Structure 1
């Protein structure tokens, strides 16, 4: 009688931080997403600090159409700098950073949506900040997952090849 181990087929596990050549064209997408968002956040944070807004001021101080205070400005500068560093590095680092920061923006949007009009809204979020968090989160996740997650990746895609190594070795990938 055969055990369950003999009937199992080997599974290929693909980590999202592997299999992308340094010079692959997907790196441009990851760099563009991280760089553009990083520049916006950096500018937003710097302009917020220049206005000398109180650190935890919850008043109506607006910068670039978004409500802000000193704490949000500093957080924006740090995240913007992190995204710009990812854009400079490129490749898998930029892709993974886009995905992680995108999820963080979505989580921030939900948390701050719950905190609107409460005394715990120490980052001075208004509804436009929440919407901005949702939009930027989805955009960053899209930039980070572009070319990595799909049901119809082209066969020259390094992630498709990593998932189908047995078919590539056989010389006849399925279509």
Structure 2
């Protein structure tokens, strides 16, 4: 009964979906691509530098690359994730955005899991505290690159995600833009 007061009859909220289609040339697509490409490049370079040292796949001896502990498994995993981000960069659009978000969440979860495994025998990726912090930073950056323009309180009204969340106001604004104003010449309507 109380729900009728809060939600009048006929009022339905449209569910927001993250996979709404953007125009192919939308400005946000470039941002998603740049984020995926930049983070993919960082991971691929880290992985290649780790493989160049010819360390063992599951060696936990403390080999470092760019201040981060690494082994062969972490290097190969970094290259694979970096290549996946490059694929997202090539495809672009909502795919790159969604991929950035999911990989960002995976990096944050990996940071927490590896934080718990730091001094245990299950630390087969040879993580140390700088690796955990790096995982958190990369995760947050990827999530920012993925969510930018899709999840915000201040989206501009021409943003397709804002229009999907506010269909009534978007249609009103669109009608307002379509209705031409009468031309006035010398104080008289034409």
**TM-score, normalization: structure 1?**
0.92
For the residues of structure 2 that align with 1:124 and 1:171, how far apart are their CA atoms? Answer: 55
CA apart distance, 1:82: 0.2
Q: Look up the SS of the partner of 1:11 in the other structure.
A: coil
State the partner residue of 1:64: 66
Q: Look up the SS of the partner of 1:171 in the other structure.
A: helix
State the partner residue of 1:29: 31
State the partner residue of 1:153: 155
How do 1:1-175 and structure 2 match up within 5 A?
7-171=9-173
How many residues end up aligned between the 2 structures?
Answer: 172
For the residues of structure 2 that align with 1:15 and 1:64, how far apart are their CA atoms? Answer: 39
CA apart distance, 1:96: 0.2
| 1:19/1:162 contact within 8 Å kept | no
Gaps of 5+ in 1: none
Gaps of 5+ in 2: 176-190
Q: Please give the per-residue CA displacement for 1:26-49, whole angstroms capped at 9, x wherever unaligned.
A: 111111111001011111111111
| 2:157/2:170 contact within 8 Å kept | no
For the residues of structure 2 that align with 1:48 and 1:152, how far apart are their CA atoms? Answer: 42
Structure 1 segments (4+ residues) deviating >3 Å: 3-6
For the residues of structure 1 that align with 2:156 and 2:77, how far apart are their CA atoms? Answer: 38
For the residues of structure 1 that align with 2:163 and 2:21, how far apart are their CA atoms? Answer: 9
**TM-score, normalization: structure 2?**
0.85
For the residues of structure 2 that align with 1:19 and 1:100, how far apart are their CA atoms? Answer: 18
For the residues of structure 2 that align with 1:134 and 1:70, how far apart are their CA atoms? Answer: 21
